[in-house]
Amino acid sequence: MLWLDERGFMARCAATLVVLVALSGCYRSAMGDDDDGASVEDGTAWLPPTAPAPLTPALDGAAGSLWAPTRLGSLRPELRWTAGPDDGLGPWSYDVQIDDSCETSNFADCGFPSPEASGSGIRETRWTPTIDLPVDTTPPVGRRYFWRIRGCRAEECTLWSLPRLLSVGRVPFDVNGDGYSDLAIGAMGLSIEALAEGGVLLFFGGPTGLAPTPDVVLVNPDHQESALFGSSVSAAGDVNADGFCDLIVGALGQNRGAENEGNAFLYLGSVDGPHSAPDVVLDNPENFEGGSFGISVAVVGDVDSDGYADIVIGTSPGGGLPTGHQESAFEYLGGAEGIRSTPDLVIRSPDWPAEMGDFGFGVAGAGDVNGDGYADVVIGASWAGSDGFWPGKAHVYYGGSGGLRSSPDVTLEDPDPGNGFQFGDSIALGDVDGDGYADVVVGARVQDEPSLHVGSVFVFAGGKSGVARTPRGRIDNPLTYLFGDDVAAGDLDRDGDDEVVVGGADVVFVYDGSPDGIVSDSSTTLDDPTPTLACGTHWTFGFVGDVNADGFTDLAMGYLDPSGTSYEPHSVCVYLGRSGEVDPVPAIVL
């Protein structure tokens, strides 16, 4: 392969060495070539242009339901990638291939033997197939595809990029594989055979949305009193790559050797939904009293890019730590058989032992902040600090070939730490500016500027070099207090820029994303539309995929018994996504 460098000299990599040295470079010289990698004349290493990197859809991104309106093109997903270097050597064009014949177990080595769609000579950094990609119409509907990209100039092309996974005709949160997102609601105060043993209410999506009564009720498998099964719930990925979304449930008060140590339970999806009994029981790996393992659970995407979704589970020993223990979070890697019952990695608080910062209380994932093809994870430590003052932190861990590392790659801190604390109490990942890199949204609910405990939210931009340490955007409380108690990010209006949803004490606000970042001076207010709906206080919320397959992401929000005497959900309101601003009146009330 020949490349002309910027001085007009010809550099050559032997074909047999291209794969081995594509990242480490060849040597160049006005005197000639050196195929064995020895230094020549000036000994200067020259790197041939590397392949463009896939950007969107996100890692194993769901392109949309096959039942969505044809005009929205869910079977013709738009692909985006990074541009070739602007080095003055001429314009780039791009070739792209999409293939469904790669095996998940070794897709990185796939040669794309029979692409269903391809394009060549593309001048832009985006492309859409001209045909509907074939998908399955019986559960699990849709199909997993793989796509790759290369850049070309003159008669030469780069190597192909590593393949990126793409789910066509599918939506997230679809545990029964019918093409409609489902809604799982934690009811940790539910009492069936034991007081506050907990449960999870699962509502299947459909053409009209969600039915008023749950289709499945998962109960605590041990029926333990005060186990609080359902204290956390996550259903955003497929840990065994069988086409069904899987469900992870935390029970922070569960006892299995130590009181209130906490457990978590994995339920694999199927055509009938999850089984009544968990497929995997995850005991607190450190089995200490009050560990609250499972206070946060998250299917965080594919952190090792092997084609299987992975899980991170946090602890929050609010009563203090026994001697010899640390605040921790635990990584479980997916695989063809699901996950193992023991963690693949223990992530210790980087602030320990100097600080006890509630590390692991919140975990967020399923986004790629640096565009390297590996999902990244954010773990909050909202009480991290010293000298009796706890401004809080959010630690960012980049994914890699072996999964997450045990120490953070970036630590985000409150840019105004003298005016409040609990930065990191709520965290979310989303692409607010639509550039293909996930951004980090961090709530600081007791920020004291401009007045006591009003709260603020900060947005830290992702990019090729990772997440920025200085916030690109800040949203200050427009109305109430404890603003930033909860945050979420998702694209309600299908414009390519994620909205940011922020909860306060009594009101929830929706802020638009834009190419310039968050639009902080304008928002839609979602409050209690009528006293009879009781949907307005003590919110918890999240994006739930597309429950009615209309092509738009939806938002579900709920809160606890308004009397404050029960942990049972009082009501859940679902706001359907649409073009333009979200309707402040919920379309569905459960």
pLDDT in tens, 78-133: 999 999 988 888 899 999 999 999 999 999 999 999 999 999 999 999 999 999 99
- Domain identity same for 114 and 83: yes
Nearest CA among 489, 302, 470, 465 for reference residue 370: 465
- In 228-279, DSSP assigns E strands to 229-237, 246-251, 263-267
Tokens of 144: 């997993």
More confident residue, 424 or 397: 397
- Domain identity same for 86 and 161: yes
- Domain identity same for 103 and 158: yes
CATH of the domain at 107: 2.60.40.10
Residues with Cβ within 8 Å of 18's Cβ and at least 6 positions away in sequence, in order, are 1, 159
pLDDT at 4: 31
Position 90 in a domain: yes
Write the pLDDT tens digit of every residue in 452-495: 567 889 999 999 999 999 999 999 888 767 788 899 999 999 99
Position 122 in a domain: yes
Write the pLDDT tens digit of every residue in 297-308: 999 999 999 999
pLDDT at 484: 85
What is the percent of the chain where pLDDT is above 70?
A: 83
pLDDT at 306: 95
How far is the C-alpha of 249 from the C-alpha of 445, rounded, in Å? 26
pLDDT at 322: 58
Q: In whole angstroms, how far apart are CA 224 and each of 277, 392, 586?
A: 15, 34, 35
Write the pLDDT tens digit of every residue in 308-317: 999 999 998 7
- Domain identity same for 61 and 35: no
pLDDT at 435: 96
Q: In whole angstroms, how far apart are CA 217 and each of 204, 213, 446, 531, 542?
A: 11, 10, 36, 28, 20
Average pLDDT, whole number, for the chain?
A: 85
27 pLDDT exceeds 70? no
- Domain identity same for 58 and 160: yes
Tell me the one-letter amino acid at 491: D
pLDDT at 26: 29
- Domain identity same for 29 and 92: no
- Domain identity same for 23 and 93: no
Supply φ then ψ for residue 525, to 5 degrees. Answer: -95, 125
Write the pLDDT tens digit of every residue in 251-273: 999 998 888 899 999 999 999 99
How far is the C-alpha of 26 from the C-alpha of 1, rounded, in Å? 11
Of the candidate ranges 173-182, 288-297, 322-331, the one whose mean pLDDT is the lowest: 322-331
Helix (H/G/I), strand (E/B), else coil: 377: strand
pLDDT at 535: 52
90 burial (CB, 10 Å; 0-12 / 13-18 / 19+) is: exposed
pLDDT at 432: 97
Position 272 in a domain: no
Position 163 in a domain: yes
340 pLDDT exceeds 90? yes
pLDDT band at 451 (very low <50, low <70, confident <90, very high): low
How far is the C-alpha of 379 from the C-alpha of 59, rounded, in Å? 20
pLDDT at 457: 93
How far is the C-alpha of 502 from the C-alpha of 476, rounded, in Å? 10
Number of H helices, E strands in the chain: 1, 42
Question: Which residue segment(s) compose the domain that 40 sits in?
Answer: 2-46
8 pLDDT exceeds 60? no
Average pLDDT over residues 414-426: 79
356 pLDDT exceeds 80? no
- Domain identity same for 63 and 159: yes
- Domain identity same for 41 and 91: no
Domain ends where: 169, 189, 217? Answer: 169
What is the percent of the chain where pLDDT is above 90?
A: 64
Write the pLDDT tens digit of every residue in 176-221: 999 999 999 999 989 999 999 999 999 999 999 999 999 999 999 9
363 bridge partner residues: 379
pLDDT at 41: 38
- Is residue 326 a contact partner of residue 294, using CB atoms and an 8 Å limit? no
Cβ neighbours, 10 Å, residue 191: 17
How far is the C-alpha of 432 from the C-alpha of 139, rounded, in Å? 32
Domain ends where: 169, 192, 224? Answer: 169
Nearest CA among 274, 228, 255, 217 for reference residue 568: 228
13 pLDDT exceeds 90? no
25 pLDDT exceeds 50? no
Position 585 in a domain: no
97 bridge partner residues: 118, 148
How far is the C-alpha of 404 from the C-alpha of 401, rounded, in Å? 8
Position 106 in a domain: yes
How far is the C-alpha of 203 from the C-alpha of 182, rounded, in Å? 6
Write the pLDDT tens digit of every residue in 216-249: 999 999 999 999 999 999 986 999 999 999 999 9
Tally of structural domains, the chain:
2
- Domain identity same for 22 and 67: no
Supply φ then ψ for residue 24, to 5 degrees. Answer: -100, -15
Position 360 in a domain: no
Domain ends where: 12, 27, 46? Answer: 46
- Domain identity same for 65 and 165: yes
- Domain identity same for 108 and 34: no
Average pLDDT over residues 419-430: 85
pLDDT band at 537 (very low <50, low <70, confident <90, very high): very low
Position 144 in a domain: yes
